[in-house]
Amino acid sequence: MQSLRRPYRVSLPMVVLVGMVPVYVFIPGFATGRAVYVPEVAWDRLLPLQPVWGLIYGALYLFLILLPVFTVRAPEHLRRTVLAYLLVWTTAYVFFFFYPTAAPRPETLSGEGFAVWSLRFLYDADPPYNCFPSLHVAHSCVGALAAYRVHRTVGIIALVCAALVGLSTLFIKQHYILDVVAGALLALLAYALLLRTAPRDEIPELDRRLAPVFALGILGIASLGTAGAWIAYQLKDAVR
């Protein structure tokens, strides 16, 4: 019987990947005083701001970030997935440094309600820089494509979720259309170079069977996160 507890092996690419995460915060500082580009197309101006999409943005992105953590366990598949994320991070950072952009956010966010409150929190937590290509879209697509190599149905559902994340970035004015397209293309490049040839026959059958279970569990975690945010919104006036 295959073990349910096959430990991950910490590798140099994993360490490098984790070490690259904080760089995201510091890159905008290097753009100070430089020209900031606006990769806007006409269709961007046709999309209205819809704060409710911020809930989709947060919940589904959390789902897609956690999905490969629980479903990708075969050593070679895991190694290639980490390298795919590294490729995405490195390429995006190069663009962020040499092609600094700013998100198309409104100067003020008017309105009331849970969705507007949540979007204000998102705006405060994530500065409006590092837009092209969209790392949210690239991360979501890589996670979905990595899961696809384990379980096709789970992967297809995850790709639909990744598409919704891409749409949400447009409706909350976090990204431009070209940012989303570039992020998706970057993920496809990582898949073509690294994940597409990952040996499917080395993935244990137990991992395939457990993938839908883990996916449902992660969706539950994402739902609990949204519920927790709603409770915080309801209590915000009480703690003042």
- The per-residue pLDDT for 5 is 47
Using a 10 angstrom Cβ sphere, with 0-12 exposed, 13-18 middle and 19 or more buried, the burial of residue 225 is middle
| Whether the predicted pLDDT of 199 surpasses 60 | yes
- The per-residue pLDDT for 1 is 40
- Of 55-69, 106-120, 149-163, where does mean pLDDT reach its minimum? 106-120
- The per-residue pLDDT for 89 is 93
**What's the rounded mean pLDDT across residues 21-39?**
73
Mean confidence (pLDDT) of the chain: 88
- Of 46-50, 83-87, 131-135, 234-238, where does mean pLDDT reach its minimum? 234-238
Residue 42 dihedral angles phi and psi, to the nearest 5°: -60, -35
Q: Compute the C-alpha angle 42/44/47, nearest 5°.
A: 120
* Assigned token pair, 38: 């606006």
Residue pLDDT, tens place only, 65-99:
999 999 998 989 999 999 999 999 999 999 998 89
Cβ pair 74, 9 in contact under 8 A: no
- The per-residue pLDDT for 108 is 83
Q: Report domain extents, the chain.
A: 46-235
- The per-residue pLDDT for 110 is 83
C-alpha span between 154 and 115 (Å, rounded): 28
Cβ pair 58, 202 in contact under 8 A: no
| Whether the predicted pLDDT of 180 surpasses 80 | yes
* 3-class DSSP assignment, residue 158: helix
